[in-house]
Structure 1
Amino acid sequence: MFQFVMILSVCGFTVAQEKRLLCRTDDLDILYSNCSGGPHTNTFSFEVEPCSLKDHSVWMGTIFWIPRADLTILSAHVSLSFKGFEAIKWESVLCHGVDDDYTFCGALKGETINTTVRISGAMPTYPKGEYTVIFKGFSGYYEELIACMNYTVIIKQQL
C-alpha cells in the first residue's frame, strides 16, 4: 500500500475543480485535479510511468512545479481513502534545510522544478474500486499550504 501512496505523492479537499485524465490502462484509471484553488492552480503536477500496478514494482514519477514559496522546509501530507474511510495517512518532512535528499529542496519561490524520481517497492495488491488520494505540500515552520492535488484512482480489476 505504501508504494501506491508514494506513486501519487511525489493531496484535503479545498476547492473542487474539474478532474482531468492522467492515464488509463486496462487495470487502472487515474484522474486528478488541483485542490488549492486561486490563481496558482496549474503550478504543480505529478505523473507516473508506467500507468499500471499490474506486474510492476518500479515506476518513474515526474514532478513539474513552480512553488509559491521557498522550499527550504517542505512537509508533505498524503491521505488515501477507500469507500469513504481514510485507509492511510502519511506525513513527512521532505526538505529540512540542510543535507536534503531531494534535488528540489532549496528551490526558491517561482523557480521551475522539473524532475524525475524512481519509485520502487514490492508488488502491491489492492481490491477493485475507487480510491481518493490527497496530497498537500506545506512550506516553512508555519506550514503554509503551497500545493494540493486530488487524485481519483480507479482499480478496474483485483490486483
Structure 2
Amino acid sequence: MFQLIVMILFVSGFTVAQEKQLLCRSDDLDIFYSSCSPGTSTFFFTVKPCSLKVSVWMGFMFWIPKFDITVLTSYTSLWYGGVNSLKWKSVICKGVDDGYSFCGALKGETINTTVRISGAQPTYDQGEYTFVFKAFSGYYKDLALCMNYTFIIKEKLYG
C-alpha cells in the first residue's frame, strides 16, 4: 500500500502544469501563461499592445511543432468566476486553401509568424479570466499544443 501511495505522489508531481510566466503587463491588464502540453513544447505567443482598450492586436507566434500541421483543429474555453463561460471548437488548418502561413508546416519545422487579432470591444468585468487553448494535429486526434492564459483585468472596461 505504501509503494502505491509513493508512486501516485511521484507521478502526480510530473503532471502538474508549469508555473505561470508573465506575458505582458499594462495599467488595465496583466497576462500570464503556462504550458499544459505533455512533455516540453517549444511555443511562445505574445500580443501587442497589452491592453483591452484597443480593438486590434498583433499576435507574434514562435513554435516548433511535434506533429505535422496539415490539419490543425482547436478547442478553446474561457473561465470566469469558476464558470466555463465560452467553449469553442474550430478547424484552423484544413489541408487545402488555408489562410495561415503556418498551415502545412512539418514536425520540427520552425514557425515564426505574426497574426492580426481584431474584434468588437465587449464589456469586461474586473477579475481573473482563464483561457485554455488546445490544438490538435488532425481532427482532435493528437494533442499538439496546450496553453493556459490568465488574464487579470484591473478595471471594468466598456466596449
d(CA) in 1 for partners of 2:49 and 2:17? Answer: 27
d(CA) in 2 for partners of 1:104 and 1:149? Answer: 18
Aligned to 1:47: 46
1:53, 1:124 within 8 Å by CA — same for their partners in 2? Answer: no
> Which aligned runs of 4 or more in structure 1 are off by greater than 2 angstroms?
none
Task: Identify which of 48, 51, 65 aligns with 1:67.
Answer: 65
Aligned to 2:112: 114
1:31, 1:152 within 8 Å by CA — same for their partners in 2? Answer: yes
Aligned to 1:30: 31
2:70, 2:138 within 8 Å by CA — same for their partners in 1? Answer: yes
In the TM superposition, residue 67 of structure 1 has moved relative to its aligned partner by: 0.5
In the TM superposition, residue 142 of structure 1 has moved relative to its aligned partner by: 5.5
In the TM superposition, residue 84 of structure 1 has moved relative to its aligned partner by: 0.6
In the TM superposition, residue 46 of structure 1 has moved relative to its aligned partner by: 1.2
The residue type equivalent to 2:119 in the other structure is G
Matched, 1:129 2:130: no
Long gaps (5+) in structure 2: 1-14
Question: Number of residue pairs matched?
Answer: 143
Question: What do the CA deviations read for 1:24-66 (whole angstroms, capped 9, x no partner)?
Answer: 111000000011131x23x112111000002x11100011110
Partner of 1:94, secondary structure, is: strand
d(CA) in 1 for partners of 2:69 and 2:30? Answer: 31
Residues 62/102 of structure 1: CA separation in 2 closer, same or farther (3 Å cut): same
Residues 125/107 of structure 1: CA separation in 2 closer, same or farther (3 Å cut): same
d(CA) in 2 for partners of 1:44 and 1:32? Answer: 11
Partner of 2:109, secondary structure, is: coil
User: TM-score, normalised to structure 2's length?
Assistant: 0.86
Tell which has more relative contact order, 1 or 2 (C-alpha 8 A, sep 6+): 1
d(CA) in 2 for partners of 1:37 and 1:74? Answer: 17
Long gaps (5+) in structure 1: 1-13
In the TM superposition, residue 131 of structure 1 has moved relative to its aligned partner by: 0.4
Residues 142/92 of structure 1: CA separation in 2 closer, same or farther (3 Å cut): closer
The residue type equivalent to 1:48 in the other structure is V
